[in-house]
Each structure stands twice: as structure tokens, then as C-alpha cells.
Structure 1
Amino acid sequence: MKNSFVELHARERAEALLDDDVRELVGPLDNMISPHLEPQGIVPESDDGVVLMRGTINGKSALVISIEGKFQGGGIGEVSGAKIVAALEKALEDNQAGKTIYPVLVLDTGGVRLQEANYGLLSISEIQNAVIALKKFVPVIGLVPGRVGSFGGMSITASILSYLIATKKARIALNGPEVIEQEAGVREFDSSDKDLIWNTLGTKQRLATGLVDEVVEDTVDNIKKSVSDAIDAKKDAHRTENIDFYLSLLDKLDLSKKLDIDGYRKLYSEVKSEKHVIDDAVGSNTPGTKSRGRVWFEKLTGIKNAKSSVSTVLHAEKDGKEYVAIVPDADNKFPRVRDGEVGLEEGFAVASIVNKVVADDADKDIKRPIIMVVDVPSQAYGYQEELIGIHVALGSSAAAYAKARQAGHPVIAFIPGDAVSGGFLAHGLQSNRLIALDDTSITIQAMSKASAARITQRTIAELEEATKHVPAMAYDIDNYEKLGALYKLVKGIGSYDATDENVAKINSIIDEAIQTTVGKPADLHFRYETPIAIESGRKATNAVRKAVFEQWNA
């Protein structure tokens, strides 16, 4: 197609958006390649699939970050993620100094690069943190042209952006149809039904239900004009702040009937937003569905058989700290969250809780610490979850935690259970500090082995062999420690060993972690600065950051 934006590669897209005078940062000649691909027999790219360009858009200073969908499906790894984060942080510094620069993200991405799994999750959470900070100064514009679309953790990022522009060739969803089919079965979502996929995840439906702000014809001129207009008007959809609307919508959802596209459009158009307050958990006589997260929440708060108006979300204040946990409920009305997954209600409820903590403490000099008890086996894999927009639910939670931390609340994640995929992005990775138990039962990863094998076209045996060379691909907490992101890995306490002595020990570690945040920047840089991170875990990240910083004003 003549003058098609979609058909351009990432570098050409960046050049097309910017005026004539452009400058690339950390480009191919810098040879910042991923160190994690060649050990797996994968040929790397010299720019790692991400293009950073500075210039102007109709005379306004701009940064364009363009992801190449043809390299590893646009997946985010350590180097590509570090490039994006470093560039956004420099743009933030300029805006804080009164030098206005407008960031534009061109998203053609499947989310986490599974060949660098946990690096991808860390990087995406760091991208989201930078976006939240930037939105205080300028709109952060997102553009989803097509080819790959925007999936996985980067769909959560898309929900957080100020304004989202797409073409009719794009799709946006947290879970791809193949992953849902793998995890929940073909009856839940038939990945061979192309009409169903496009009607559900395509931009026509996304525009009609508020998940995309504008759909434009696929020409360079149309797209550049839409981006320029969004910048000029400082457009912001505040998508992750519509929490009461979505909780009201979920109240009206008739789960006795299968939700379809027309039915959801009708429901969406008729819902009236009502204020929701998620009350503190209280004790009861009936035990809830057992989980590591529930056990530790109850022991840390002293609430026996804790229950809440949202059965899968527990929160309570104890000794000046706000504890939040997502827990399973075997009888939950939403089948896809019965094992503790993070779904629609969980994401929006957590956001509501955290936003209220921030509002209540707004005028206080000392902000209440927020303690996440993390035991999330994944996000919910379901058709209705994707139709409604589970990525917005998880984005709302992640954004709430990021805003709380940036407002001065110490945000500490304590991990006695699993920390997987979008569930971990929504509830865990926006923390100042990560504390985990050293228990072999804990899984910490971007995707289940079965789904990761299917998406990367490997056998599970081949996947497990690759983890021997790349710790970020492994599923255990000991390999995760090698990335340098943990504040502390607690040895000698099992996931269910919440004895009085062990609870006292964990409380002491949490208090120590809180103290390390006092007087320190409310960012996520701690992850790059631990001894393990500097020596090996984030060595490539730190090299990329140094290069971007040196070239920013060169």
C-alpha cells in the first residue's frame, strides 16, 4: 500500500513521525545486542529491536520509541527494555527541568520476550513506572499500527499511556488467543477462529468500548497528524482511573449467560458509574480457600479466616502498614480466578484500595507503607476477560502502586508464593523492594512452561535446557536472585511456615526494607544498584543506560 505506515519497519516509522532533523540514540553501530540470545542459538539484532529517535513533531521536541515487530515478535528483553526505560527517564528529567519533550511509543509487540522472560517482566514494570512519572508533565502518546499489535505486558503499558491511537489492522489484548486456548481450552477461546479474534481484539471493538481512543486510516500523513493533534491538545483518556465505572460494570454482568460482543457493547453503554469502597478484611468463622498468600496475610495482620466484600482481595491496616493480598476462592463467580489468578475484579479492586490509601495520606508528612503479599499464579485466562479489557484492570493496579510509591509511600512486595506474568506486573513489580522466601515451590516467571513452549515453538525439554544458560528463563526463585532485583531472599522459612517466630522475622525484614527507602528516590533504581545487579544480573541494563545518558544531549 502506497504511503502505508503499517508496512514500514520500526526505524522508518520513527523517521516518518518526526520532522526532517532526527537523531538516533544507541543505534545499530553501538552494537548493544542482547547477551542472552546467542547462548540459545538465536541470532541477535544490533539494536535489539528497539529504535530511539529524538527530533521534533511539527516543531515540538519529541522522543519516538519504536518497537520492531519482526524481531522476536517485538518482545521486550533486557537490552530493549533498558533502552526504553533510559530514554523515558531522560525525557522525564528534561520535563522536570522545564524543557518540554513529548514521548511517543510505537507499539508492535507481543509483550515479554520469552527467551529473556524475567528480564522482560522487570523491564516492562520499569517502563510503566517511567510513563506514570512522565504523565505528570506531558501526555505520553501510544500508537499501535498493526502487524503484531500490542499484547502481554505491553498491553498493560498501553492501557497506562495517556492516549492510544491505532489502525484497523491492529489488535490489543493481554493474552493472545493461543495462550488462552493452551491455558483454558479451545472452548474458552478458539485460536483458529480468525473472525472471533478480530471481532473481539480488533480496534473496531476496542474503540467502541473505550480501550482505544482513535482509529485512523493507515497512511503516514494521517497517523502523524493524529499524533501531532494529540500532543497539541494534551489528550489524556485517564483509562486506568475509571475504576468505579468498571467495578459498576462488573456488578451488572450476568455471569449465567455467555458474554458476546453485542451484549458487551450494550452493557458498556448502559453502565452508570457508582462509587465503590473495598472495606477492610474482617475475621470470620469459615476458612477461605487455602493458599500461601492467604496464610501469610492472616498471620501478618492477625485476622483469622479473613473475608472481604471482594472475596479474592484482602486488605487491612496493621501497625501503621497497609497489607494487600490477592487470594484464591474456589467458589468465585469468575471461574478464571478461582486459583488466585489476577482478573478483572482483582485489578480494579486493588487499584481502588491503593488509590484510597494515597488519598487518605495526601496531606500527611509520613506516608503509610503498603505491603503486597504476593502469591499470584498468573493473570486470568478467559474470553470475557479479554473482551472487557483485563489489561486495563491490571494496568489500573500497576498504575495505582506506581503512583503510591512516587507519592512517597514505601511499597514493599513480600513473596511467599508464586509471582507469574501479568499477575506479578499488577501486584508486585511496582514495589520499592522485593522480599522472597527461598522455597522450591515458588514459581516466578512470565508464562507457564506449556504456553511458553507453544509460543516459542520449542518442546518443554528444549525450554528447560535453555534455562540452564539464561537464568532469566528459569522458573525458580534461586535463579531469579541472580538477576539482582531482590532486596532479600529469606532462607530457612518455607512458604507455609508462618509460625509466630517466622512472622516476627518477616516483619523485621519488612521494617528494615521500609527504612532503606527513607530519604531515597521513589523510583525503581534499587534493582540496578544491588551488588548482584552491578556484577552480573543487570550488567547489560547498566551499560545501555550509560550509553543512552551519554548520547542524550550529544
Structure 2
Amino acid sequence: MHKMKESFVELKARNRAMALLDEGTFRELLGPFERLESPHLEPQGIVPQCDDGVVVARGTICGERVVVISIEGAFQGGGIGEVSGAKIAGALERAVEDNEQGIKTNAVIVHDSGGVRLQEANYGLLSIAEIQSAIVALRNYVPVIGVIPGKIGCFGGMSMTAGLFSKIIITREGRMTLNGPEVIEQEAGVAEFDSKDKKLIWDTTGGAQRQAIGLADVLVDDDIAAIAEAVRTAVKEGKPSELRSKQIDLFLSRLKRIDPSKKISPMDVRNMWSKDENLLNEETAGTGEIKESSEKEMSRGRLWFEKLTGIKDPETGAVPSVLHADCKLGGEEVRYIAVVPNPNNRFPRARKGEVGLEEGWTIAKYVREAVEADAGKAEKRPIIAIVDVPSQAYGYKEELLGIFQSCAAAVDAYATARFAGHPVISLLVGPAISGAFLTHGYQANRIIALDDPGVLVHAMSKQSAARITKRTVEELDEAAKKVPSMAYDIQSYATLGTLEELVEGINPEAPKAEDIETIKGKLNKAIEVTRKSGIRDLRNRLTSKNALTGRAAGIKVRRKLKEEWN
């Protein structure tokens, strides 16, 4: 007689964590009775939750020490805010410290998240960057295992986080995608993605499709016993020999075989990507090549790249929207990287400076080239990300082909460079929005921004944020007066304490020669401070004067986690 299946999807976050741990070993940290609520919800008329929608549990799996982090999708759609983000990042950081001290501690993360909690916006975006950094560090010691069961799924910046996992276990009910159908429809129109077409959504982003094309590892039934066994197997197997987020050449070659000007179905991608690359039919594989126009579209990112490198009209590689160059700064070689508009981009949704499929993988390529070239050197070259990115690309093909994984590859590369000793500095000269900023710039040791109305930081466009939160744009603007992290302007962002410096008095669109020298001096100083500190993770973001007040709740969470850890 077959045992009846019990649904894992229908469990609450706490019960999911219990179901994965060895019987009798569950111990919750920062549980609901400690009342660590988000301080940013009540001012907006939203009832907070005592654990802020994240369960952190210690215990064992197959007798090995493990921390299980389980996100409650029923609270605020599993959105990541200051407190919930600090619980996840802080727990992973503690696991890293354990392993550094020779105490093996595994990590399992149960994703049921819509991404950034828009009611806290920049707190969520900042937290996700820190979660991603901790995952990259922890993977050096143990596998970081992700479980995507269903209900909400895995969206936004948290899908990029999943793209960093050592192994992804997903059900057919699970979805994994950067941009939700409603957001794509809002940004690109219903013809691009119909949010009411449920079959299209599941065929594009559902668990079966993700596993079939190699963007997830294990497809399991929605059954407690089956999922727990898959997690146990992953723990026993240990670190994988290869990580998806490092397979740059493979994924870039796959994208080159796609013709974006033609329709492509989920089954087309399965047929192409489920086979070995050498077995693909070269005759039927599209290239979608468009001859590049000699006319370049000027943007702040391109302007500052040219001014800082001294290279006018820089040469471009196979992906013209990503510029890179090695130039002298302060007597040493540095690598500059910028994302710029390309009106002839093969993928139309990435023609205005957005980070798209090819952009993420190409950024990763240029960063890893520097890491590999400097591997044997005592002093590693600095990497400077010039940030002017309006958003990630919103489109059907982008989601079908795994833009979240492309973005994750760039995140991985920047974090890897930082941990290897490369000073990574971001210079914000224009918008730094959503997944595009997470991809290009948010993994920096230090962030410098120009004090200008055109320099914006946020998790989503106002129109899309209004649709998702079911508010008007005017209501969002009003809420931003009470919660500065919801605002778009760089002055409000500076109150969170993440900026190394906010530079006044420079015109981003028409800088003078002395302005360029001023910024070069600021970059040099940031490089020097980074090297002198010796800190290679992102902990310095919690120590500035503004952070002590602007991120007080997150700092408290980390302190209490440390107290309860053992």
C-alpha cells in the first residue's frame, strides 16, 4: 500500500523548516516571541508580523550541522525588508564564520518570495545584495541548497539569489523568474507578456521548464518526504564540481544560437538547451545578428566611461552594450566597466541601457577575466563599475531564457573579485534601479554617488510598484515621506549609510576637466581605504554614522543572532 503524499507547499514556513531537519533537532533563532518586527510597516498602516516572515532554525540534517532559513510567503508575499533581510543575511554570515573556524555548517534556504518588499524598497534591495555576498562566501565551504516549493515562488532579486545556489530543488508548482508577469505587462505591454495567460506563465517560468533547461537541478513532487530526501541527498553530495553562475561561455554560446527576432516557445528552448552544445543543429540555430550602427547613443554611463578612461568612442566586443577598459588611475591599472544603451541590441528589451540576458553574462566575463589574470599577484587591480542602469530588461524571452541566472553570474563575479582582494568601487552617475543595480554595482566594497536629481536608487519603477502594492503613485510618494527607503532620490538613499561619499557640485551630463579629476581622486581614496581596511565582505556598510541610525533594526537583528547562534 502506497503512503499518501503530504504537501510541502501547504506547510507554513516554520513547519517547512522542521520537516527538513533531523527529528528533534529544530531550534528557532529570533522567534516570534522576541517580537523583532519591521519598524517601517506600521507608519504605512500595515500590520507587522512578529518574526517578519522569516524563520531561522538550527539543527542537523543527516547528522551534520545546518541552518535552515524559511521564508513565509503568506506575509507580504515573502517580500524582503530590513528585518527579514537581516535575519537571512545575518544567519548566512554566522554560517560563514563557523566554517572559517573549522566548524562545518551547511545552509538550506526555502524560497517563497516575491523579492524586495516594496513597502521598504531600498532596505530590501540592500539586504538582498548582502544575502548574495554571504552565499558566495559560504559556497567556498559547503553547498548552499535552495528549495523552491511553490505558492509564491521565487521572484525579483531573490531569483538572482537562487541563481547563486549550489543546488536548486524545485517542484512543478514552483516558479523562478526575475520579473513577474504583471510587472512585465506594466513595463512592456500585454503583447509582450499576458499576465492572465496562466499556461504561458507556467510553461515559461515553472519548475518543470526550469529543470528541463538546466536552470534548476532537481524536480520533485510536492511531497514532504520527497523534498526532505532531496535535501538530504544534496547535503550528502556536498559542493558541486560546477556552478551555473560560473558557466559564462556555455550560456553566452546558447544565447548566440537564439534569434530574438523570431518567436521562440518553451519547447524550442528545451530542445536546444537540454542537449550538449556540440549536438545542437548549427543550420537551424539562429544568430539574430544586427549590423551595429556607427552612431552611438550617448548616456551618462558612456560619457563617464569615456571621460574616466580617456578613450573616446571605445571599441566594443561581441556585446556592444557592455564597455570595459584597463587604464591607469593613480599610477596603477584599474578596470572600468559600464553598461550603455545600444539601439541595435539583438534583444529589443535591452536597447536603452537596461541589463539584459547578454549584459549580465558579459559583465561576469569581464570581471572574471581580471580575477584570473591577477590570480598570482600580491596586489589585485581595482574594478570600477560605472552605474547608469534604468532597470533590468522586461520581456518574455528574457524570462524564458533565464535573465535571473545571467544577472546572478555578474553578482557572483563581482563578489568573487571582492573576496579575492580586488577593490570593487561603484560610481553612481545615473539611475541604479532594481535588479540592474544588484547585477552591476551593488557588490562593491564602496559606493560613491553624484548628488544629482538624475541619480536614483530603487527597487522598481513607480508605475510598477503602484500596481504591485495596489496603491497610487501619489500614495507611494506620501509613504516615502514616512519611510525614506521608499524614496527614489539619492539624498534619501544616503540616510541608509551605504554610500562612501555623496559628491556635490558636479554636473553629471557636462563635467569639467576639474570635475573628472575630483572624481578620480574620490575613486583613488576609496581604493586606498578599501585596501587599508582589509575587509573583503560588506560589513563596513553597517558601521557608518548614517547606518547606525538608518539601519538600526538590521544591526540589532545581527547582534541578537550572534548571541543566540550557539
Q: Please, what TM-score do these two structures have when normalized by structure 2?
A: 0.94
1:418 and 2:422 aligned: no
1:267 CA displacement: 2.4
Post-superposition CA distance 1:103-132 (Å, at most 9, x none): 000000001000111111110010000000
Matched with 2:285 is: none
Post-superposition CA distance 1:323-374 (Å, at most 9, x none): 0000001222211111100001000001011011000000000000000000
Q: Call closer, same or farther: CA 1:178–1:293 in 2, change over 3 Å.
A: same
Q: Quick one: which of 157, 160, 165 aligns to 1:156?
A: 160
1:52 and 2:56 aligned: yes
* 1:458 partner amino acid: R
1:272 CA displacement: 2.6
Give secondary structure in 1 for the equivalent of 2:235: helix
Q: Call closer, same or farther: CA 1:2–1:270 in 2, change over 3 Å.
A: closer
1:496 and 2:501 aligned: no
Contact 2:293 2:344 in 1 (8 A): no
Identity %: 55
Matched with 1:30 is: 34
Post-superposition CA distance 1:361-415 (Å, at most 9, x none): 0000000000000000000001001001000000000000000000000000000
Q: Quick one: which of 118, 123, 133 aligns to 2:122?
A: 118
Give secondary structure in 1 for the equivalent of 2:86: helix
Contact 2:58 2:66 in 1 (8 A): yes
1:256 and 2:270 aligned: no
Post-superposition CA distance 1:237-274 (Å, at most 9, x none): 51101110111112111223111112222222456379
* 1:201 partner amino acid: T
Contact 1:438 1:494 in 2 (8 A): no
1:7 and 2:37 aligned: no
Matched with 1:311 is: 320
Give the paired residue count.
543
CA distance in 2, matches of 1:397, 1:273: 25
1:202 and 2:206 aligned: yes
Matched with 2:142 is: 138
Matched with 1:468 is: 481
Contact 1:326 1:342 in 2 (8 A): yes
* 1:155 partner amino acid: S
Contact 1:437 1:489 in 2 (8 A): yes
In structure 2, stretches of 5+ residues that fail to align are 280-291
Give secondary structure in 2 for the equivalent of 1:502: helix
1:517 CA displacement: 0.8
Q: How does 1:64-463 map to 2 (within 5 A)?
A: 64-236=68-240, 238-269=243-274, 272=277, 286=294, 288-309=296-317, 310-319=319-328, 320-463=333-476
Give secondary structure in 1 for the equivalent of 2:68: strand
- Structure 1 vs Structure 2 CA RMSD: 1.4
Post-superposition CA distance 1:61-92 (Å, at most 9, x none): 11000000000000000000001111111111
CA distance in 1, matches of 2:358, 2:440: 13
CA distance in 1, matches of 2:5, 2:209: 26
Post-superposition CA distance 1:258-317 (Å, at most 9, x none): 11112222222456379xxxxxxxxx9955211100000000001111230221000001
* 1:153 partner amino acid: G
CA distance in 2, matches of 1:211, 1:515: 39
Moved more, 241-250 or 418-427: 241-250
* 1:318 partner amino acid: C
1:16 and 2:19 aligned: yes
CA distance in 1, matches of 2:293, 2:55: 57
CA distance in 2, matches of 1:93, 1:444: 31
Q: Quick one: which of 517, 538, 543 aligns to 1:529?
A: 543
1:444 CA displacement: 1.1
Matched with 1:280 is: none
1:217 CA displacement: 1.4
Contact 1:300 1:503 in 2 (8 A): yes
1:549 and 2:558 aligned: no
In structure 1, stretches of 5+ residues that fail to align are 275-283
Matched with 1:279 is: none
Contact 1:144 1:150 in 2 (8 A): yes
Matched with 1:509 is: 522
Post-superposition CA distance 1:140-170 (Å, at most 9, x none): 0000011000000000000100000011111
Contact 2:204 2:266 in 1 (8 A): yes
Moved more, 216-225 or 383-392: 216-225
CA distance in 2, matches of 1:429, 1:63: 26
CA distance in 2, matches of 1:273, 1:476: 49
Matched with 2:531 is: 518
1:234 CA displacement: 1.2
CA distance in 1, matches of 2:360, 2:33: 42
Which consecutive segments of 4 or more residues in structure 1 shift more than 3 A? 284-287
CA distance in 2, matches of 1:546, 1:155: 27
Matched with 2:45 is: 41
CA distance in 2, matches of 1:299, 1:483: 30
* 2:479 partner amino acid: A
Give secondary structure in 1 for the equivalent of 2:529: helix
CA distance in 1, matches of 2:176, 2:119: 22
Q: Please, what TM-score do these two structures have when normalized by structure 1?
A: 0.96
* 1:305 partner amino acid: D
CA distance in 1, matches of 2:424, 2:258: 33
Contact 1:288 1:307 in 2 (8 A): no
Matched with 1:278 is: none
1:221 CA displacement: 1.1
CA distance in 2, matches of 1:234, 1:499: 54
Post-superposition CA distance 1:437-486 (Å, at most 9, x none): 00012221000000000000111111111111111100111100011100
